[in-house]
Chain A
């Protein structure tokens, strides 16, 4: 049995009272010494910062576990849940304070924004893994869009920008085992 799936619809401009939560961008337990700070901006194809995007991150715990834990919407300051949700600010900027993922060295990132008919998946790599099935298949220039760069002069600070389109367009991903249907793809440019 394969049921017809419910199609995506744009998140629209008015999700702000519903989805963002206090501490949503801070999955790292307060004061944890291994905390990394990832920050950057979301840009549209014209290079204008996107002030109304919502970013969701999902990742392995430092020990490589992908079990996750409840509490992402009401953090207790101790539990690492593996999930984060952070809106961009007026200048398109976001900040995530998290722990480094164990196992594969990347965060999974899902990008929502008004004017996007469907959310976009990408990854934030902190390092180039040796046996990654995705990265080697990409041209070097495109691969670079998935790499966070170390922030000189900061303690465990990294920068990662998202370009929704344009010359520096970020590599966005799909998961074919997901059996994605035609109507749920992003509608062209």
Chain B
């Protein structure tokens, strides 16, 4: 664990991620489109969400998961096939916390990602990059008593998408998380530190606030490297919303 207090660690914008130049390059090619992603218009509700007031809502509780749901090997994406996937082996680990810094214990964390060449196993992925017969790119684990999760995988590749011409997604892991309350449900994406593609990414740019933008970038943590085996990345996740047990002891 870093000695830096969690609050400061989490509240700091990433310094080396600055806006890329918006002006057209000298060769007359069109400027890279930096418009943030707004989703498909026909899929966005036009009306604001209706607030549900008062305690006691079903959504302040949530589903529970256990060893019946997650096998011990589900968190190692490099061991799901006969052979090993190609790519740079990494671990991604961190803690799941609520807004008050309390660990979210025993909850389900799920990930999915492209392989090292930037291709998903999903049949809808038409990117002309090779599939890896030894990599499905999906994983699950439960957080431990301190809210910690841990995955072993390979670093995903970048891939093109249709947001605009020549748009590329930076390497990323998709994450799905549950809190103690269903209202804390979170699906998000994790990016890699120092990646030059990130500031160009319409999805990352859709996060307006600089502190929130920094929250989706993992940190390289040499202390989490496994010598002669894998590179370590740390990513802590803070769930919005109420905790079902606000009076629970400890932190």
> Which A residues contact B (CB, under 8 angstroms)?
1-19, 44-46, 48, 50, 52, 56, 58-60, 66-74, 76, 81-83, 101, 104, 106, 108, 110, 112-117, 119-121, 133-134, 137-138, 164-166, 169-189
Main secondary structure, interface of B, reads loop
B158 interface residue, CB < 8 Å from A? no
Report B-chain residues with C-beta under 8 Å of the C-beta of A71.
66, 68-69
Which residues of chain B in 53-79 are interfacial with respect to chain A, using CB atoms and an 8 Å cutoff? 53-55, 57-70
Contact of A188 among B38, B67, B69, B176 (CB under 8 A): B38
Q: What's the Cα separation between A187 and B6 when bound, in Å?
A: 29
B187 within 8 A of A: yes
27 pairs of residues in contact across A and B, judged by CB atoms under 8 Å: A4-B11, A5-B99, A5-B239, A8-B186, A9-B187, A11-B176, A14-B122, A15-B176, A44-B40, A45-B44, A46-B42, A66-B61, A68-B64, A76-B68, A108-B182, A116-B40, A120-B49, A174-B50, A174-B51, A174-B52, A175-B52, A178-B181, A181-B240, A183-B208, A184-B212, A187-B44, A187-B206
Say yes or no: A17 contacts B61, CB within 8 Å: no
Residues on B with beta carbons closer than 8 Å to the beta carbon of A72: 63, 65, 69
A6-B61 contact given A16-B124, A45-B43, A48-B42, CB 8 Å threshold: no
Chain A's interface: helix, strand, loop or mixed, by majority? Answer: loop
Q: CB of B90 within 8 A of chain A?
A: no
Nearest B residue to A112 via CB reads B187
Residues of A within 8 A of B206 (CB): 9, 117, 187
Number of A-B contacts (CB under 8 A): 271
Q: Say yes or no: B238 contacts A5, CB within 8 Å.
A: yes
Which residues of chain A are near B140, meaning CB under 8 Å?
Answer: 73
Instruction: Return the contact of B63 from the options A5, A82, A178, A185 (Cβ within 8 A).
Output: A82
Q: How far is the CA of A113 from the CA of B137 in the complex (A)?
A: 20
Min CB gap A144→B, angstroms: 14
- Minimum C-beta distance from B245 to chain A (A): 12
Q: Which residues of chain A come closer than 8 Å to B58, judged between CB atoms? A: 58-60, 66, 101, 104, 106, 108
A170 and B49 CA atoms in complex are apart in Å by 10
Residue in contact with B97 in the complex, picked from A3, A8, A60, CB distance below 8 Å: A3
CA distance A116 to B59 in the complex (A): 21
Which 7 A/B pairs are nearest by Cβ-Cβ distance?
A70-B66, A115-B40, A83-B63, A18-B112, A178-B241, A174-B49, A73-B69
Chain B nearest CB from A66 CB (Å) reads 4
